[in-house]
Structure 1
Amino acid sequence: MAKKLVIIDTDCGIDDAQAIMMALAAPDIQIMAVTCCFGNTTVENVCQNVLKVLSVCERDQIPVFQGAAGPLIGASKPFSDHFGTDGLGDVIKDRDPEWEEKIQKEHAVNAMTRLVSENENQVSLVALGPLTNLALAVRMDRHFPKKLKDLFIMGGNTEGKGNVTLCGEFNFVMDPESAYIVLEEFLCPTHLASWEYSCRHKLTWDFFEKLINQDTPAAHFMKKITSKCWAYSKEAMMNKRDVYFGSGFVSYDAYAMAACIDSSIVTESIECAVHVELQGTICRGMMALDLTNQLKKSHHIFVMNKCDLAKFSQLLMDSLRKPCNK
């Protein structure tokens, strides 16, 4: 059976790295390209992080493309240090000084539109960061969305609970206009793993210890990049007052990737229209669900609601256990 063709668009932080390794280990996935966007850190750091992940997994032949360095409108916002200033926990000392030579010369948005046009209705796009590259793609080719097989997004929120602002999730707040454009104009089947969905399906710290203590190069790498990151510290997270979801570790981007790899992992979705708010000081970047059809939109997306945690956990474990597919 032919492998599923996938393009990964990422702002590669630690959870992105985990999601990419999950795809690399999946036997039925063929990664056509990794396109990079600003988000967890600068786009230059993102490119280097992706190259490092591919190197650890001995998959250097996968092309990496540099994309948007900032949002569609306005100046770039300060980068989050959730995963360290470099996105990978500030522990990678052996960065490749010749990394720029390993990045494709073609811009990420051009590569994305070209690859999808060459493989019309066959490519799944997994978006793990701000949606700037995707918004630029539809502005360059208005038919781009209908050429996709489907789209998987990690981002947005469903209950007005924010993780960087009062009401907004990080990926959408970093570029609200792009999130708005994508959710308005991408009419292909779209599946979204929200912040709340990810947090409600957190995993135990005991599982996390088993995950990173496997004796494989990928597990050693994951243990290293999480070693000094407060977001992967049991003590720090337990001491942090989490009024929403309680204790546990969350590999946010892996939830969207898992849905792309195995649709049965999502056991319940909400099918509805959505709207990304662009106004206001409190709600800018917030995603609202239109459960009562007040917006009268014909296009609905699938908002993930329930997850098979046993299957998801197995995919995570396999991502660091198995040799990555060559």
Structure 2
Amino acid sequence: MPRKLILDVDTGTDDAVAIMLAALHPELELVGVTTVNGNVPVEHCTDNSLRTLDHIGRGDIPVYEGLQRPIVRRDFPVPRAIKKDVKVHMDELPIPPARSRKQRMSAPEYLVSAFAEARGELTLVAVGPLSNLAAAIAIDPNFVRNVPELVIMGGAVDKSNITPAAEFNIWADPEAARVVMEAGFERIVLVPLDATHRALVSLEQTRAMRDLGTPAGTAAASIIDYRINGYQTNQPTGIPETAPVHDALCIAYLVQPDVITTRHVNCVIETLGEYTVGRTVVDHEFRTKRAPNCHVAFDADRQAFVTLMTETFGRPHTSA
């Protein structure tokens, strides 16, 4: 029986690859997609998510739009946005316009309803700022108990990408991230930059995806190529012609758990530091007495990740 999941995204480029992987892998059933303000404004996140699903013939999967801003801070995205010259994401993905439409229900309301009805048979994967999840917790405290596993793309131990201390998804709404981390979810798997940068995708590998000739293969190749160009220009990975595809690694974990290597440790979110707001403070050396609350990924299997994506995107599927 396929594993059911809901994917919370801020699409974005790597989010689109994650959506395609979740929607097309035979061992997964993508029940719904929720969008949140993050990489681009939420209305663009929604449109890009709809475009992606329509392009691969999965316009049947509903998309719910969520929060337009962080739960506390009012200065996002200006002046806290990523510099405009860092070209990793785009307002409009290079695939045909969406034909399907977003659902009327808000993303937090949908999350509460879907997990209440799922009776423990649904996984939540959050690969953007955690605003929708914090809102769902505020709507219904039982939401936390209804989520058997929460997989988060975000945070950093030894790496960062938005400030010297923080990764974007956590930094973009640190108060929401703190609410989520302290809510008491049964199981949290955190996939930070430390792991995603161990699973880089190269131009040679995107050429193989493009050669598949499928809608997903060509779209993934185009999107990842864009990311590679942005990383080479602004934040080189250390390996020429490569880039991380952060969010898709979380989906790969659902199918092949050993694609990442985790440790069960304590993680708290910094919300007050003058220079460290949004920092995921991971006690991987056990210097405190705080109980482990999170399975944090420190490594990833690059070849297994790329192989899984390529094989999935090569499966026959038709554009709706």
Tell me, yes or no, whether TM beats 0.5.
Answer: yes
Shift of 1:130: 0.4
8 Å Cα contact 1:14-1:87 kept in structure 2:
no
1:141 aligns with 2:146: no
1:26 counterpart residue number:
25
8 Å Cα contact 2:217-2:310 kept in structure 1:
no
Shift of 1:25: 1.9
Shift of 1:297: 3.2
2:62 counterpart residue number:
63
Provide closer, same or farther for how the CA distance between residues 253 and 217 of structure 1 changes in structure 2, counting only shifts above 3 A: same
Structure 1: runs of 5 or more not aligned: none
2:279 counterpart residue number:
286
Structure 2: runs of 5 or more not aligned: none
Shift of 1:260: 1.7
Greater Cα shift, 7-16 or 19-28 = 19-28
**Distance in 2 of aligned mates of 1:261 and 1:40:** 26
Provide closer, same or farther for how the CA distance between residues 318 and 303 of structure 1 changes in structure 2, counting only shifts above 3 A: same
**Distance in 1 of aligned mates of 2:218 and 2:129:** 28
Shift of 1:312: 1.2
1:77 aligns with 2:77: yes
Q: Please list the CA deviations of residues 35-80 of structure 1 after superposition, one character each: whole Å capped at 9, or x if unmatched.
A: 1111111111111111111111111111110101110112222454
Aligned residues: 312
**Distance in 1 of aligned mates of 2:313 and 2:293:** 35
2:253 counterpart residue number:
259
Q: Which amino acid in the other structure matches residue 272 of structure 1?
A: V
**Distance in 2 of aligned mates of 1:55 and 1:152:** 25
Q: Please list the CA deviations of residues 174-201 of structure 1 after superposition, one character each: whole Å capped at 9, or x if unmatched.
A: 1010111111114221111101211122
**Distance in 2 of aligned mates of 1:262 and 1:7:** 18
Q: Which amino acid in the other structure matches residue 165 of structure 2?
A: C
72, 78, 91: which is aligned to 1:86? Answer: 91
Shift of 1:87: 5.5
Shift of 1:132: 0.4
Shift of 1:104: 0.8
1:132 counterpart residue number:
131
Q: Given the two structures, how large is their TM-score scaled by the length of structure 2?
A: 0.90
Provide closer, same or farther for how the CA distance between residues 245 and 180 of structure 1 changes in structure 2, counting only shifts above 3 A: farther
Shift of 1:215: 1.1
8 Å Cα contact 1:12-1:87 kept in structure 2:
no
1:323 counterpart residue number:
316
Q: Given the two structures, how large is their TM-score scaled by the length of structure 1?
A: 0.88
Greater Cα shift, 215-224 or 131-140 = 215-224
Q: Percent identity?
A: 26
183, 198, 206: which is aligned to 1:200? Answer: 198
8 Å Cα contact 2:198-2:302 kept in structure 1:
no
SS of corresponding position for 1:18: helix
Shift of 1:203: 3.0
SS of corresponding position for 1:103: coil
**Distance in 1 of aligned mates of 2:115 and 2:47:** 24
**Distance in 1 of aligned mates of 2:5 and 2:316:** 19
**Distance in 1 of aligned mates of 2:149 and 2:68:** 25
Q: Please list the CA deviations of residues 147-185 of structure 1 after superposition, one character each: whole Å capped at 9, or x if unmatched.
A: 1120111001112x3211111101011101011111111
**Distance in 1 of aligned mates of 2:38 and 2:18:** 16
